[in-house]
A and B are shown apart, each in its own frame.
Chain A
Amino acid sequence: MKKILVKTKIQKLTACLLLAGMAFTAVSSVFASPEQDRKSIIEYFETRFVGIPLSEYANGVYAYDTVGRESWEAIEEFPPYEIAIEKGQTMWETPFANGKTYKDCFPDGPAFADQYPRWDKKQAKVVTLPLAINQCREANGEKPLKYKKGSINDILAYIAYESRGKKTHVVIPEGEPGALAAYEDGKKFFFTRRGQLNFSCATCHIQNAGNRIRSDNLSPALGHTTHFPVYRSKWGAVGTLHRRFTGCNKQVRAKPFKAQGEEYRNLEYFLTYLSNGLELNGPGSRK
């Protein structure tokens, strides 16, 4: 009888320890550091697509879509975003009504896309490049540009082009709890299922990356932000990253959020952090 009791106690203890272990693993993955998240996702892709060097993910889906890559490389010979770059250069060089230029706001420009998105301590929020551009315009008495379509893409295309070769370098400053909270918020957005189709961003761009959705190959989350703004054949124009976020949310039949609203800015912060170390090669062209 005693033996049975002892055995039961041991079983209970083992079960408790196992449960505690499982709970710890679950909790530790939820509260993993940004660098742990990034490494875990890189490891996932390295296992899923064996032999593809990490640097290749800067080319997004064309890292593994070999057929699509041929068409993409052919398109890149006569890039459809060239006009946007030229218009953007004119915008950069043309003084505002007060005589100042973008350069006065961004002394490191025009090759400074690697500095965004970033945590702004004063504003206590993530500041993206489009937001910074509009803040510069407004500070100089100019009207802000729209965040999805139109001429914001010209100036972004020029800055992206000038920044080619620089590497994604998102910093989550230590001792800034707001920055980490924004990153965590973006991470939660990325893994949250939404819309009538009950998909999260991760459902398509991690779990099913490389699988086909109708005739399209799903792109990897790694490298998602390296090539924006992007000329999409579907749009027939260059568009912003937040326009793409809007499209993704609509595709899963969720109501999209406001471009440059907190949700998408934090998502951009998280998503761009994942691509840290990858080369910036925008503007890009996609289907």
Chain B
Amino acid sequence: MKLAIKLLLIVVLGFTSTVILAAASDKAAQDAIAAADQARKKAASVKGEWRDTGKIIKQAEQTRKKGDFDKAIKLANKAERQGKYGYEQAMSQQTLKMPSYLKY
């Protein structure tokens, strides 16, 4: 009898921890996606958004909904990097620099 109770407890604990971990992973994926979208918007604000950033964020969101949180986070991080680089690129180009091969 005692053994049965112990087993039941182990099963319940295991299930609960899985649910908690899944929720935590989902939250982490949601946060990563939100951060990526913020980076994308920041790049767009200076006309520096890259072509695929929005698509990658959508992919991340779809992957998250399917429950593959690790992949979703990976995709979101990639999109966030693109947003960051796009912003930095646009900022580096704020001042017009004429190429040296043109002579005036």
Q: Which residues of A contact B (CB under 8 A)?
A: 25-26, 28-30, 32, 36, 40-41, 43-44, 184, 187-188, 191-196, 198, 202, 206-207, 249-250, 253-257, 263
CB distance from B47 to the nearest CB of A (A): 7
A30 CA / B44 CA spacing, docked (Å): 25
Pairwise interchain contact B93-A193, C-beta atoms closer than 8 A:
yes
Q: Which of B50, B97, B103 contacts A195 (CB 8 A)?
A: B50
Pairwise interchain contact A187-B102, C-beta atoms closer than 8 A:
no
Residues of A within 8 A of B51 (CB): 195-196, 249-250, 253-256
CB distance from B68 to the nearest CB of A (A): 25
Pairwise interchain contact B101-A255, C-beta atoms closer than 8 A:
no
What are 13 A-B pairs with beta-carbon distances under 8 A? A26-B97, A29-B102, A30-B98, A32-B98, A32-B104, A193-B89, A196-B50, A202-B99, A206-B99, A253-B51, A254-B50, A254-B51, A255-B44
Give the contacts of B54-101 with A (CB-CB under 8 A): 54, 82, 85, 89-90, 93, 96-99, 101
A254 CA / B86 CA spacing, docked (Å): 9
Q: Which residues of B contact A (CB under 8 A)?
A: 44, 47-54, 82, 85, 89-90, 93, 96-99, 101-104
Pairwise interchain contact A187-B50, C-beta atoms closer than 8 A:
no
Nearest residue in B to A253 (C-beta to C-beta)?
Answer: B51
Q: Which of A30, A44, A249 contacts B96 (CB 8 A)?
A: A30
Pairwise interchain contact A36-B104, C-beta atoms closer than 8 A:
yes
Question: How many CB-defined contacts (below 8 Å) exist between A and B?
Answer: 68
CB distance from B39 to the nearest CB of A (A): 13
CB distance from A215 to the nearest CB of B (A): 22
**Could you say which of A30, A44, A207, A254 has the most chain B C-beta atoms within 10 Å of its C-beta?**
A254
Q: Which of A36, A184, A255 contacts B53 (CB 8 A)?
A: A255
A155 CA / B93 CA spacing, docked (Å): 38
CB distance from B92 to the nearest CB of A (A): 8
CB distance from B41 to the nearest CB of A (A): 12
Nearest residue in B to A190 (C-beta to C-beta)?
Answer: B96
A257 CA / B90 CA spacing, docked (Å): 14
A195 CA / B104 CA spacing, docked (Å): 28
**Could you say which of A44, A191, A198, A255 has the most chain B C-beta atoms within 10 Å of its C-beta?**
A255
Q: Which of A40, A187, A255, A257 contacts B103 (CB 8 A)?
A: A40
A250 CA / B93 CA spacing, docked (Å): 19
Q: Which of A25, A26, A187, A194 contacts B48 (CB 8 A)?
A: A194
CB distance from B40 to the nearest CB of A (A): 9
Known: A28-B104, A36-B104, A255-B44. A191 touches B50 (CB 8 A): no
Pairwise interchain contact B50-A41, C-beta atoms closer than 8 A:
no
A196 CA / B48 CA spacing, docked (Å): 10
A263 CA / B98 CA spacing, docked (Å): 19
CB distance from A9 to the nearest CB of B (A): 31
Pairwise interchain contact B97-A25, C-beta atoms closer than 8 A:
no
Nearest residue in B to A192 (C-beta to C-beta)?
Answer: B93
Q: Which of A29, A191, A206, A263 contacts B104 (CB 8 A)?
A: A29
Nearest residue in A to B50 (C-beta to C-beta)?
Answer: A196
Residues of A within 8 A of B53 (CB): 255
A140 CA / B98 CA spacing, docked (Å): 44
A29 CA / B103 CA spacing, docked (Å): 8
Pairwise interchain contact B47-A263, C-beta atoms closer than 8 A:
yes
Pairwise interchain contact A194-B93, C-beta atoms closer than 8 A:
yes
Pairwise interchain contact A253-B104, C-beta atoms closer than 8 A:
no
Residues of B within 8 A of A207 (CB): 99, 101
Pairwise interchain contact A196-B52, C-beta atoms closer than 8 A:
yes
Known: A44-B101, A193-B89, A194-B89. A188 touches B96 (CB 8 A): yes
